[in-house]
Amino acid sequence: MTGNSGFELHNVSKRYGRQVVLSDISCTLPAGRHTALLGPSGCGKSTLLRLLAGLEPPDSGEVVQGGKLASTPEGMLIAPHKRGVGMVFQDLALWPNLSVLDNVRLGRSVSDARAREALAHCGIEPLAKRRPGELSGGEQQRAALARAIAAHPAFLFLDEPFAGLDWETKSALLEMISALARETGPTILLVSHDPAEVLALARYLIVLETGNIAEEGSIHDAINQPKTSAARHLRTYTLGLGRANPQEADQP
Amino acid sequence: MNADAPPIRSLQSGPVSPLVLEAPGAWRGLVIAGIFLLAITPALPLLAEALTSSGQAVMSGVFAAAVQGGLVIGVLAASVALVLGVPTGVALTLYDFPGRRALMVVLALPLLLPPFLIALGWSMLAGGGLDGPAGPIVVFASWILPLVAFATYAGGAGLSATAVEAARLAGGERGAIVLTARHAFVPAMAAAGLGAALSIADPGPGQVFRVQTAASEILASFAALGDFGLAARQSVTVAAIILAAAGPLAFLVAPRIAEALMARETRRVRRARMRGPRAAAGAAAAVMIMAALLTPMIGLVSPLAYSLVEGGDLRWLSRAFSELLRTGGDTLVYAAGAGFIAVLLGFALAVAVGRDAGRRRFAIAACLFLLCLPPALAALGMIQLATAAPAWADPVLRSRFALCLTLGLRLFPVAALFGLRAQATSSPSWTHAAAVHGVPLALFLKRVTAPHLAPAAAAAFLLAGLLAIADIGTALLLHPPGAASFPLAIFTVMANAPEAFVAALALVYVAIAAMLLFALWRLVGWKRA
């Protein structure tokens, strides 16, 4: 495990051109608390994830990790690969000219043995020599996940990683990530629109709306007393599943 | 990544992150400005000479008539190519028919031949029947036609499969054809405009059909009259006229081309296999190819065939191969040198442009602008530089390298388009994934970026090399004594040598160009067509 400290955002703002994506956000993401980031498209979920990962600096405010300043508008004080983060990108970002095994072991501090262990964990070791273009959608997701977990990160960032997958593949992957979170313990930060994914992987949620935090708290509280349409959607989904007692939603 | 964002820099010391490849930075603007400045550097001394020298007025008498005639020829040839090339490109986009891929390879061949070779073919076939402006119009139309057809094809390929299917449902085949033609019309217009601009600057066909053109007048002023100042003023005048016409067009079509270069996550158009339209499309494409390539080829073959039938010996072919052996080494040096310089600058430009839409549009417009410039401008400028430079600079400025450099600078916009396209097909999240997972910049460049760009770079190298050796105007002015390229050797002997020998030389050239074109096609993806 690389590091074990949570993130804090202090008055963070970010804009693209004239569009303000995040506006004066402050929140805490402690280690061990699996969190879902919810909200409508374009509300800043992925941007928040990228700020935490160190892929972009904030325009104002600070990102703090483990009590140390990680990013400021002036630049990065902790490089992305030193934040103990593994990330599955929305488009998976697999390098197309490398084999699955090379995709996993190209990263720093990933030995051949660790790469094979990650592939085995994700159930795709037999596909190690194939290139991403030769894999199905579900296999590509597994390859991206293997790359993300190979260095045993403290945080696993998942940016809508299951979009476009059929239900069967998606539930197999959800089950696998849940098991991974239980066994090796990376803290999951999930960006998703799908209530099923949120309920399967997270215990805490942050709802973003027009660049601001509109709701924050445990999933249990959000389902019982929803304040935003995203939480209401989660409640409707939970009730539709027949969970009379939304307490069940508290279990990842 | 946002262009307005501050540069990502690590305040910690350590290896450079791959994120610098996606981050904005002043270096991008500096590299872009530096490359374009380098590209116009050879023309600057000529511009200075044209502005300071005095003498005979440029736009009068024979030269004015030649410029006017060249403009008429260029516009008419481009119009004919547009009328024939757009339907050909639409047919290739929408319909599948037997031999379609092979037809596309053959259709590309005229682009890689110096227009004077096509002119020779038509001239040998028609005797004196095409002397006068009709000959160059036919030659340039058949040379520009593939350019327009491929631009239409590339433009049409940008449509999604569902858009074409919706047009078919709404308006049948007519609907699909109209949609594709409208979508591809801007790139087709740009291709026709570029072809017209290049035709005005080409001396070959005019010489074959005994028409005075601006390009041949410039050569005559320099080589026959020895009046460098006059040649400079003439070159700058031609460049100004071309740029006045093509410049606004370049900036107008650049956004559309920039959009077409971007990779899309859409399903590509599925080519229809309906019997009627398929047969019509196949026949139309075959007729176009016949007109553009096979007819002049028949003209080129005929004197050699007569010679073989009458004499029964292969001496002309044998002499042609001897000529190829004599000039082949230099030809390869020019092609490889120009290709290397073009790829180096073109891909450096693509990397510097990055993913910023504004920079991409500017770079494409500037590239089209540069491509329209007459080759004589840079070549005469290089001569001027060599004349003014001290003797120790001769190995650089009066050598094979000078020709390679001039050709490379002229053709780097072609490589830049390949580079921009290759870069647009990569995802910024590749770099982000590398940064998060701790892949060092050097390793990322070596294992991910370079292999991704390599096929496009190889294709650009081959294409720039082929176009470089087809550019006889520059080679004629800059080649060192005794180091002519193979096409230049054909150009210099064509007026006085026996027709059968010229035909044999031309056929050898066509065969080599066809082989290299086939290699290029394999490289960029035969199946993707």
Minimal Cα distance from A148: which residue of B? B437
- Smallest CA-to-CA distance from B158 within B424, B524, B458 is with B424
How far does the CA of residue A214 sit from the closest CA of chain B (Å)? 25
CB B130 within 8 A of CB B123: yes
With CB atoms and an 8 Å threshold, state whether A79 touches B17.
yes
Mutate to test the interface with B, among A95, A156, A157 (most CBs of B within 10 A): A95
More confident site: B344 or B288: B344
Q: How many CA atoms lie within 13 A of B188 on its CB side?
A: 27
Q: Both tokens of residue B278?
A: 């398929």
Which of B300, B328, B347 is a domain's end point? B300
Nearest to A17 among B2, B11, B439 (CB): B2
Residues in chain B, how many?
529
Nearest to B10 among A76, A96, A98 (CB): A76
With CB atoms and an 8 Å threshold, state whether B433 touches A53.
no
Our measurement of the distance from residue A82's CA atom to the centroid of its chain's CA atoms, rounded to an integer in Å, reads 17
Question: Which range (B202-211, B291-300, B466-475) has the least confidence?
Answer: B291-300
Helices B275-289 and B61-94: angle between axes, nearest 10 degrees: 150
- B305-327 pLDDT tens trace: 887 787 766 788 888 999 999 99
With CB atoms and an 8 Å threshold, state whether A96 touches B452.
yes
Query: Using a CB-CB distance cutoff of 8 angstroms, which residues of chain A are in contact with residue B20?
Result: none
Q: Both tokens of residue A63?
A: 């990102």
Which of B300, B335, B350 is a domain's end point? B300
Residues B279, B131 within the same domain: yes
Residues B94, B41 within the same domain: no
Residues B118, B73 within the same domain: yes
Nearest to B447 among A89, A106, A108 (CB): A106
Residues B492, B436 within the same domain: yes
What is the interface size between A and B, counted as CB pairs within 8 Å? 112
With CB atoms and an 8 Å threshold, state whether A106 touches B19.
no
Query: Using a CB-CB distance cutoff of 8 angstroms, which residues of chain B are in contact with residue A16?
Result: 2, 4-5
Minimal Cα distance from B23: which residue of A? A56
Minimal Cα distance from B12: which residue of A? A77
With CB atoms and an 8 Å threshold, state whether A55 touches B19.
yes
Residues B510, B361 within the same domain: yes
CB B507 within 8 A of CB B307: no
Q: How confident is the model at residue B529 (pLDDT cuts 50, 70, 90)?
A: very low
Q: How far apart, in whole angstroms, are the C-alpha atoms of residue B2 and residue A20? A: 12
More confident site: B42 or B278: B42
A101 inside domain: yes
pLDDT above 90 coverage of chain B, percent: 19
Residues B287, B406 within the same domain: no
Our measurement of the distance from residue B28's CA atom to the centroid of its chain's CA atoms, rounded to an integer in Å, reads 26
Residues B107, B169 within the same domain: yes
- Smallest CA-to-CA distance from B42 within B378, B415, B505 is with B378
Q: Give just the sign of the alpha carbon dihedral B334, B340, B344, B346.
A: positive
B448 touches chain A (CB under 8 A): yes
Residues B235, B336 within the same domain: no
**Three-state SS across B396-455?**
HHCCHHHHHHHHHHHHHHHHHHHHHHHHHCCCHHHHHHHHHCCCCHHHHHHHHHHHHHHH
Q: Both tokens of residue B90?
A: 């639409």
A184 inside domain: no
With CB atoms and an 8 Å threshold, state whether A107 touches B439.
yes
Q: How far apart, in whole angstroms, are the C-alpha atoms of residue B444 and residue A108? A: 11
> Which helix or strand (DSSP H or E) is residue A63 part of?
strand A60-65
Nearest to A75 among B11, B430, B437 (CB): B11
More confident site: B38 or B49: B38
pLDDT above 90 coverage of chain A, percent: 23
Residues 6+ apart with CB under 8 A from B431: B18, B19, B21, B22, B444
- B109-135 pLDDT tens trace: 888 888 888 888 888 888 777 888 899
**What SS3 state is found at B76?**
helix
ipTM: 0.83
Nearest to B1 among A56, A59, A74 (CB): A56
CB B430 within 8 A of CB A93: yes
- A199-240 pLDDT tens trace: 888 889 999 888 888 888 888 888 888 888 888 888 888 877
DSSP string, B97-110: -TTHHHHHHHHHGG
With CB atoms and an 8 Å threshold, state whether B452 touches A81.
no
Largest CA distance in chain A: 50
B335 inside domain: yes
With CB atoms and an 8 Å threshold, state whether B12 touches A77.
yes
Q: Which CATH number does the domain housing residue B441 bear?
A: 1.10.3720.10
Rounded to 5°, the CA angle B199-B289-B498 comes to 65
Mutate to test the interface with B, among A19, A21, A56, A102 (most CBs of B within 10 A): A56
Minimal Cα distance from A72: which residue of B? B11
Q: What pLDDT was estimated at residue A3?
A: 44
| Sheet-wide strand order for A187-191 | A85-88, A155-159, A187-191, A35-38, A204-209, A212-218
Query: A79-98 burial, b if ≥16 CB within 10 A, otherwise e?
Result: bbbbbbbbbbbebbbbbebb
- Structural domain of A120: 96-149
Residue A119 has pLDDT above 70, yes or no: yes
Residue B272 has pLDDT above 90, yes or no: no
Q: What pLDDT was estimated at residue B522?
A: 74
A44 inside domain: no
B160 inside domain: yes
Which DSSP symbol is given to B95? B
Q: What pLDDT was estimated at residue B16?
A: 67
CB B239 within 8 A of CB B398: no
Q: How far apart, in whole angstroms, are the C-alpha atoms of residue B452 and residue B464? A: 20
For chain B, the domain total comes to 2
- Smallest CA-to-CA distance from B61 within B226, B221, B222 is with B221
Our measurement of the distance from residue B232's CA atom to the centroid of its chain's CA atoms, rounded to an integer in Å, reads 24
Residues 6+ apart with CB under 8 A from B347: B415, B416, B418, B419, B453, B457, B460
- Smallest CA-to-CA distance from B142 within B167, B173, B165, B120 is with B120
Minimal Cα distance from B444: which residue of A? A106
Mutate to test the interface with B, among A19, A55, A158 (most CBs of B within 10 A): A55
Nearest to B436 among A74, A85, A97 (CB): A85
Question: Which range (A85-99, B11-25, B387-401) has the least confidence?
Answer: B11-25
B427 touches chain A (CB under 8 A): yes
Q: How confident is the model at residue B524 (pLDDT cuts 50, 70, 90)?
A: low
Q: How confident is the model at residue B527 (pLDDT cuts 50, 70, 90)?
A: very low
Q: In Å, how far are A64, B6, B295 from A60, measured between CA atoms?
A: 13, 11, 68
B192 inside domain: yes
CB B455 within 8 A of CB B523: yes
Query: Using a CB-CB distance cutoff of 8 angstroms, which residues of chain B are in contact with residue A82?
Result: 438
C-beta atoms surrounding B75 within 10 Å: 17
- Smallest CA-to-CA distance from A192 within A214, A221, A170, A159 is with A159
- Structural domain of B423: 16-52+314-529
Q: How far apart, in whole angstroms, are the C-alpha atoms of residue B438 and residue A109? A: 8
**Helix and strand counts by DSSP (H, E) for chain B:** 23, 0
Query: Using a CB-CB distance cutoff of 8 angstroms, which residues of chain B are in contact with residue A143?
Result: none
Mutate to test the interface with A, among B430, B437, B444, B445 (most CBs of A within 10 A): B437
Q: What pLDDT was estimated at residue B164?
A: 85
With CB atoms and an 8 Å threshold, state whether A55 touches B432.
yes
A204 inside domain: no
Residues B278, B409 within the same domain: no
B196 inside domain: yes
Q: State how beta strands A204-209 and A68-72 pair.
A: unpaired
- A126-180 pLDDT tens trace: 999 999 888 888 889 889 989 998 888 889 999 988 877 777 777 888 888 888 7
Q: In Å, how far are A31, A49, A62, B293 from A4, measured between CA atoms?
A: 6, 18, 19, 69
With CB atoms and an 8 Å threshold, state whether B8 touches A57.
yes
Residues B294, B352 within the same domain: no
Query: Using a CB-CB distance cutoff of 8 angstroms, which residues of chain A are in contact with residue B10?
Result: 75-77, 79
Q: What pLDDT was estimated at residue B14?
A: 55
For chain A, the domain total comes to 1
With CB atoms and an 8 Å threshold, state whether A80 touches B452.
no
Any idea which residue has 């417009």 for tokens? Answer: B365
Query: Using a CB-CB distance cutoff of 8 angstroms, which residues of chain B are in contact with residue A95?
Result: 430, 433, 447-448
CB B517 within 8 A of CB B314: no
- Smallest CA-to-CA distance from B468 within B396, B411, B525 is with B411
Q: In Å, how far are B370, B447, B515 from B397, measured between CA atoms?
A: 21, 37, 32
Q: Give just the sign of the alpha carbon dihedral B272, B278, B280, B286.
A: positive
With CB atoms and an 8 Å threshold, state whether B438 touches A107.
yes
Any idea which residue has 């790139």 for tokens? Answer: B187
Q: How confident is the model at residue B5 (pLDDT cuts 50, 70, 90)?
A: very low
Minimal Cα distance from B14: which residue of A? A79
Q: What pLDDT was estimated at residue A252?
A: 43
Q: How far apart, in whole angstroms, are the C-alpha atoms of residue B75 and residue B343? A: 31
Q: What pLDDT was estimated at residue A12?
A: 92
How far does the CA of residue A151 sit from the closest CA of chain B (Å)? 8
Q: How far apart, in whole angstroms, are the C-alpha atoms of residue A196 and residue A170? A: 10
With CB atoms and an 8 Å threshold, state whether B447 touches A57.
no
Q: Average model confidence (pLDDT) for chain A?
A: 84
Q: What pLDDT was estimated at residue B499?
A: 83
With CB atoms and an 8 Å threshold, state whether B437 touches A110.
yes
pLDDT above 70 coverage of chain B, percent: 92
Query: Using a CB-CB distance cutoff of 8 angstroms, which residues of chain A are in contact with residue B19?
Result: 55, 80
Query: Using a CB-CB distance cutoff of 8 angstroms, which residues of chain A are in contact with residue B432?
Result: 50, 53, 55, 87, 89, 93
**What SS3 state is found at B57?**
coil
Nearest to A77 among B11, B448, B452 (CB): B11
Which of B241, B269, B300 is a domain's end point? B300
C-beta atoms surrounding A166 within 10 Å: 10
A116 inside domain: yes
pTM of the model: 0.81
At residue B194, φ and ψ (nearest 5 deg) are: -65, -45
Q: How far apart, in whole angstroms, are the C-alpha atoms of residue B303 and residue B294? A: 15
With CB atoms and an 8 Å threshold, state whether B430 touches A93.
yes
What is the residue type of A3?
Answer: G
Rounded to 5°, the CA angle B278-B279-B283 comes to 120
B10 inside domain: no
pLDDT above 70 coverage of chain A, percent: 93
A55 inside domain: no
Q: How confident is the model at residue B285 (pLDDT cuts 50, 70, 90)?
A: confident
Residues B272, B343 within the same domain: no
Q: How far apart, in whole angstroms, are the C-alpha atoms of residue B489 and residue A153? A: 66
B365 inside domain: yes
Q: What pLDDT was estimated at residue B15?
A: 59
Residues B182, B266 within the same domain: yes
How far does the CA of residue B15 sit from the closest CA of chain A (Å)? 10
